DNA sequence: CGGGATCCCTTGCGATACTG
DNA sequence: CAGTATCGCAAGGGATCCCG
């Protein structure tokens, strides 16, 4: 993987650091609420605080960091309006839009099977507890 | 392992631990090579070492852990043959198979845009470096 | 409004060694 | 073959404060 810089994901790679391993890309997209962020930015420009309210559960810090990462990877475009108060808009790039369908499928699946996963988990845990002597 | 329901989205077991937040489910699926594992187990039963060879780059530890997590969440079925030497097979459950298409899309996208992401990253980093005074 | 900087605990994860 | 156990560092990520 990258060079492991300081906390925040700022990987300082030297010039000519080859292609990114697909695994790393997927991890970035799926981790830390990036999916919701991309989807939120897929329906036109969206502001920072709008996102914060839309995504619900994400911390300010993580939102900022993930936005930066996605921008860096070319998945989001960030536009700053030097007004007072400041206004910043994010929107998905064409590259990111290609993911839209798949990401919707994924989130839909997760919502539909939320209970099923919880049930499976309880069954598994119960079985483990039963197999463990006191 | 097991409990540790700390900030971020740990797994709270215990009786009646409600439904799983979709976010957490997605993170589990996307992180630590779970995608490749699910896909590898989508074409019929596959053995532990086969997976280890197929996935390439995953550590023994992570493979084991992720397999356990996916089994616990009801995405993989694990079958043990008490032979000598032991034989263990994993295969995707129907629930996990529903993800197949989307996961293939995702991995395909990641492969296609690997270079594009790398390029975007270099551009971003260059711009940052340019904006930073010495 | 939209962040950046710092603190600091928690978790992820590789490396290594041992086992049925 | 298919794991489990333990160690140890580094990354993850929340909380808090500050700033243009």
Instruction: Give the model confidence (pLDDT) of A53-101 as tens digits.
Output: 999 889 999 999 999 999 999 999 999 999 999 999 999 999 999 999 9
Please state whether the peptide bond connecting residue A85 to the residue before it is cis, i.e. omega within 30 degrees of 0. yes
Predicted local confidence at residue B119, as pLDDT: 93
CA distance B33 to A102: 18
Contact status of A3 with chain B (Cβ, < 8 Å): no
- b/e code B4-39 from CB counts within 10 Å (16+ = b): eeeeeeebebeeeeeebebbbbbbbbbbbbbbbbbb
Let me know: does A12 contact A3? Beta carbons within 8 Å: yes
Strand D proximity list, CB < 7 Å: A 4-9, 31-32, 58-62, 85-86; B 7-8, 47-50, 60-61, 64, 67-68, 78, 85-88
Q: What is the pLDDT of residues A11-58, one digit of tens each?
A: 444 444 668 888 888 888 887 889 999 999 999 999 999 999 999 889
Mapped onto helix, strand or coil, the DSSP state of residue A80 is strand
Q: What's the confidence (pLDDT) of residue A23? A: 84
Q: Which residue of chain B is at minimal alpha-carbon distance from A117? A: B73
Residue of A nearest to B37 (CA): A23
Q: Which of A12, A72, A117 sits opposite B25 (nearest CB)?
A: A117
CB contact (8 A) between residue A30 and residue B27: yes
pLDDT in tens, B61-120: 999 999 999 999 999 999 999 999 999 999 999 999 999 999 999 999 999 999 999 999
| Partners of residue A99 in chain B, C-beta under 8 Å | 105-106, 109
Judged against a pLDDT cut of 60, whether residue B10 lies above it is answered with no
pLDDT at A130 (0 to 100): 81
């Amino acid at each position: 993987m990258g060079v492991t810089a300081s906390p925040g994901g700022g990987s300082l790679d030297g010039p000519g650091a080859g292609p990114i391993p697909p695994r790393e890309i997927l991890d970035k997209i799926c981790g830390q609420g990036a999916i919701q962020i991309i989807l939120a930015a897929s329906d036109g420009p969206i502001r920072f605080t709008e996102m914060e309210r839309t995504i619900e559960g994400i911390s300010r810090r993580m939102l900022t960091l993930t936005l930066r990462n996605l921008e860096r990877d070319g998945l989001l475009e960030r536009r700053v309006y030097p007004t007072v108060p400041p206004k910043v808009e994010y929107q998905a790039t064409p590259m990111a839009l290609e993911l839209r369908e798949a990401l919707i499928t994924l989130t839909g699946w997760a919502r539909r099977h939320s209970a099923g996963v919880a049930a499976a988990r309880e069954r598994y845990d119960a079985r483990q507890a039963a197999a463990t002597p006191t």
